[in-house]
Amino acid sequence: MTRDDLKALIRAIPDFPKPGILFRDITTLIGHGEGFAASVAMLAEQVDAAGAEAIAGMEARGFIFGAAVAARLSLPFIPVRKPGKLPVPVLAMDYALEYGTDTLEVDPGAIRAGQHVVILDDLIATGGTAVAATQLLRHAGARIEHALFVIDLPDLGGADRLRAQGLAVEALMAFPGH
């Protein structure tokens, strides 16, 4: 399958989660066996080329792609969780959302000092979560130089925010607008 074939599998849902937003839904991609396998293979090629020693995925949809790519490459998967989900002492970081704040947590024992970790998520929009995950993982000792996404919404500037943090950013596809 080509990237255009994969892009055609993404469902667009108008006015979700609020009026004026055109939500890009990966459910139809992961529900298509050949498409999901092709997207995992393409992401795995990029992770491998980056020389990753581990993959970090943000809850929740980053777990789907990140864990699949990690398993394909026999790499460790580091879950970046929402608060209160890890049963061990954690490193945590608060970050700003469009309306309010949120927190990410990681098990610091899951990361070796200097370990080259690639961040992988389903979608990059404004970049708030990905920037916070980058900072959190760096604080835990990871070397973060690459971020991969299935979808980029370039008009929202998230990939550029990550590039300003010194990351190379790649996505399998991009959609204009919100």
pLDDT at 151 over 90: yes
Q: Please give the angle made by the CA atoms of 95, 101 and 104, to the nearest 5 degrees.
A: 50
- Residue 178 has a pLDDT of 66
Instruction: Classify strands 116-124 and 54-58 as parallel, antiparallel or unpaired.
Output: parallel
Containing structural domain, residue 53: 3-174
Q: Where on the phi/psi map is residue 157: left (φ > 0), alpha (ψ -120 to 50), or beta?
A: left
Question: Which pair of structure tokens corresponds to residue 19?
Answer: 């009026």
Annotated catalytic residue 163: no
Q: In this predicted model, what pLDDT tens digit does every residue of 82-133 receive, in sequence order?
A: 999 999 999 999 998 767 789 999 999 999 999 999 999 999 999 999 999 9
Catalytic residue, candidates 3, 61, 138, 143: 61
**Count of domains for the chain:** 1
Please tell me the distance from the alpha carbon of residue 71 to that of residue 57, in angstroms, as a whole number. Answer: 13
Annotated catalytic residue 161: no
**Range 124-150 average pLDDT:** 97
- Residue type, position 88, single letter: V
pTM for this predicted structure = 0.95
- Residue 80 has a pLDDT of 98
Q: Which among 109, 118, 106, 110 has a CA at the least distance from the CA of 53? A: 118
Q: Which CATH number belongs to the domain containing residue 81 in this structure?
A: 3.40.50.2020
